[in-house]
């Protein structure tokens, strides 16, 4: 996956449909950081990663999303 580090800010995991509920969707403010160079997507699943725009952590409003 492409580097997301803008001033040291990592990708955040918002949705991973392979995870059991309620872990499959995170709140913006508590979305876990993904610091690895890859994230495994399970078969028949979807994943949404984002990088906060303002640079102040996961709780910054509108994300940049890539899949």
pLDDT of residue 58: 46
- CB contact set of 49 (below 8 Å; sequence gap of 6+): 1, 4, 11, 12, 13, 14, 34, 39, 65, 66, 67
pLDDT score for 10: 87
Q: Do residues 9 and 34 touch, judged by C-beta distance below 8 A?
A: no
10-50: per-residue pLDDT in tens? 899 999 999 999 999 999 889 999 988 889 999 999 999 99
Please, are residues 12 and 35 in contact by the beta-carbon 8 Å criterion?
Answer: no
pLDDT at 12: 94
Name the residue with tokens 């996956």. Answer: 1
């Amino acid at each position: 996956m492409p580097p997301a580090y803008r001033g040291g800010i990592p990708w955040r995991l918002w949705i991973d449909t392979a995870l059991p509920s309620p872990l499959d969707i995170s709140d913006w403010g508590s979305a876990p950081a993904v610091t690895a160079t890859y994230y495994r997507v399970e078969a028949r699943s979807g994943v949404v990663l984002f990088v906060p725009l303002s640079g102040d952590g996961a709780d910054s409003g509108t994300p940049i999303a890539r899949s």
